[in-house]
Every structure is written in structure tokens, then in C-alpha cells.
Amino acid sequence: MSKYIVTGGAGFIGSNIVAALNARGEDDILVVDRLGKDEKWKNLVGLQYTDYIEGDEFRQAIHQDTLDKVSAVFHMGACSATTEKDASYLADNNYRFTRDLCEWSLRNGVRFIYASSGATYGDGALGYSDEDEVTPTLKPLNMYGYSKQMFDLWALRNGVLSEEIVGLKFFNVYGPREDHKDDMRSVVNKAFGQIQKEGLVKLFKSYHPDYKDGEQVRDFVYVKDAVDVCLYFAENRRVSGLFNVGTGKSRTWVDLARAVFAAMGQEPKIEFVEMPEHLRGKYQYRTEADIAKLRRAGYETPMTSLEDGVRDYVQNWLLAR
């Protein structure tokens, strides 16, 4: 029997959870994923775990109730493409699969920690509060965000968020082991590649009168902080609920670009380019996680600043490869 299950275990946040567990001396881990034909498998190289299973086989085991009981499930497996158009696929993969695994966990007394998303907040017009009374009012801008919202609402409606499980609304996560995400990679990762190839960073122009080019803002959270929050809730089962995971402080895209240049020891050179038409009506100009609820839940560790996180990522991972 494995002590932990990590779905999406070869993915970005999931593989970092496996690495963090390994750093704590834990290798009794069942990794679940769909490796497919991309380079995601490379995230598993060097990690220690007891077994690997493909997602479809794992889902069948859930339905047949043949899985061994574990201490905790970290459910990070999902389609994270905000541009995915197949709504039926997203509803099944991001909502129904999550619900099936949650119900199995509840039946077996297993701690269930799942990835929601800051994308559930839509354009931010209703703010970024993770309080339960706010959640049903949110209006995501894309089907990815809504597929995450679907499960949040199911869990809230059935009372399990307040009693047994944890949902984590990750904001803009960046850090090691995201190379496979292609266009869904963080702008930190993309900017690093642009600087290496062209000596500059390209950022989208603004189409909102309240924001100058490059001054659109996001809450950028280092993956090491996101993982630490996951492990905190695995260790503290007395606390449940839906929580934002961010720094609580929004920063501009220009701030991010300058941080990457600084980490690479280069002077900033930024070019503003047109945003694709299909994104303009679904673009978030501001995100900022309200993390008061997370702090009330007992998580007191300071979040890594943008500059410190980017420096660590660039110098100890991207440049070290």
C-alpha cells in the first residue's frame, strides 16, 4: 500500500509534490498520469516512487474499488489548458474524474487535496475572496475555469469542503518542471527562452484604459510555495475548505520580465506585441489572491517574493540544466 497518491504526478505541480515528499524521506508514492507523447516523463527522472499507473487504468480502479487505502491523495491531474475548446472533455476530465476520486477518498477516510484554480474568478469583477458564500457567484471566462468551478460547487453543495477535503485555488504558478506545458508554460519560462534566443522579452499590449502596456498584474506564486501549502494540509487534517494559493500581492508583467533579466545578469529589453483576437475578450487584467483564509487556517510560512522566486528558478534550474 502506498502512503500517498499523486495524480498528475508527472506534471508540473504534481512532480514537484513528489520531489518535496522525497526530500522529506517519503518515497511510498503511487504516481498517476497520462504520459502520452510529450516530454512530461522527464519530470519523473530522478524521483523516487513505488509505482506508476496510467490515468484511465487508475480511474477504472476507482470505479471497481480495487485501490489500496492511502494516507492522502494529491489530485493535481487535470487538463490545464485555458484555451481547450472541448467542453465535454473538460467536464469529464476536470470535474467528473475529480468527483469520482473524491467520493472514493471520502468512502475510505483518505485525505483529499485537489487543485482548483484562480481562473474561477473570471475577470475579477467580484473580487478574489475564497469565502464559501462568494464561490457560487463567480463567473469564469473560459471552460477550463468553469470545469474547476463545477467541482468547487459540487463539493460546497455536498458539505465536504467544510468538513473533510481541501481545494486549492492556485494563481499564476511558475517554477521547475513546467517545460512540457508548451504554450501553458509560465511567462518566466517563456521569457527566459526569449532572452536566450533574441535578447528581449515580448509582452502583450493592454486593451484596457486602466492599464498601460505591461502593467497588467498577476499574483505570481512560486511552485515551491504551492507545494508547501499542499503538504501543510496533508499534515493538518483538522483544517478543510477552499483556499486561495498566491502571494497576496499582485505584480506587473514588466516586474516579472525585469526579474528574469536580473536573474540572467542582463539589462531589460521589452517589446510590446498585439494580443491575439481570441484572447482579448477573455483576458484577466488583474489577479490578486486574498490569502486571509489560508492564514486563518494556520499556514504562516511567508510566500517567496517574485524576485527571489525567479532568481532561484532561473539560476538553480533553467541555467543549471
- pLDDT average, residue stretch 291-319: 98
**Quick one: pLDDT at residue 278?**
83
| Mean pLDDT for all residues in the chain | 95
Is 220 in contact with 174 (CB distance < 8 Å)? yes
Helix H or strand E segment including 25? none
* Residue 220 contacts residue 253 (beta carbons within 8 Å): no
Q: Which three cell numbers stand for residue 227?
A: 507545494
- pLDDT for 232 beyond 90: yes
pLDDT in tens, 178-188: 999 998 999 99
Contact 250, 221 (CB under 8 A): no
Q: Alpha-carbon distance 289 to 128, whole Å?
A: 6
282-309 average pLDDT score: 95
Q: Please check the confidence at residue 155 and state whether its pLDDT lies above 90.
A: yes
Q: Which one-letter amino acid corresponds to residue 177?
A: R
Q: Which residues contact 252 (CB under 8 A, 6 or more apart)?
A: 214, 215, 216, 217
Task: Look up cell 483544517; give the residue.
Answer: 239
Q: Using one digit for the tens of pLDDT, what is the confidence trace for 108-135?
A: 999 999 999 999 999 899 999 999 999 9
Residue 1 reports pLDDT greater than 90: no
Which of 119, 118, 73, 72 minimizes the C-alpha distance to 98?
A: 73
- Positions marked active-site: 144, 181
- Angstrom distance (rounded) from CA 78 to CA 106: 20
- Structural domains in the chain, CATH included, are 4-171+223-246+290-303 (3.40.50.720), 174-217+250-285+311-318 (3.90.25.10)
pLDDT of residue 79: 85
Q: What is the per-residue pLDDT for 98?
A: 97
Lowest-pLDDT choice from 14-28, 68-82, 225-239 = 68-82
pLDDT interval class at 2 (50, 70, 90): low
Q: What is the pTM of this model?
A: 0.96
DSSP string, 215-259: --EE-EEEHHHHHHHHHHHHH-TT--EEEEES-S--EEHHHHHHH
pLDDT for 26-53, tens place per residue? 999 999 999 998 899 999 999 999 999 9
Q: Each residue of 47-98: pLDDT tens digit?
A: 999 999 999 999 999 999 999 889 999 999 998 887 788 999 999 999 999 9
Per residue in 243-261, pLDDT tens? 999 999 999 999 999 999 9
What type of residue is 248? Answer: G
Q: What are the residues whose beta carbons fall under 8 Å from the beta carbon of 169, sequence distance 6 or more?
A: 116, 117, 118, 120, 121, 130, 242, 243, 244, 245, 289
Task: Take residue 190 and report the three cell numbers written for it.
Answer: 517563456
pLDDT of 230 reads 98
Structure-block grid coordinates of residue 183: 504554450
Please give the share of the chain, as a percent, with pLDDT higher than 70: 99
Q: Which of 101, 111, 31 is nearest to 71 (CA)?
A: 111
Task: Check: CB of residue 16 under 8 Å from CB of residue 227.
Answer: yes
Q: Is the pLDDT of residue 282 over 80?
A: no
Q: Report the b/e string of 158-194 with b at 16+ CB within 10 A.
A: eebbeebbbbbbbbbbbbbbbbbbeebbbbbbebbeb
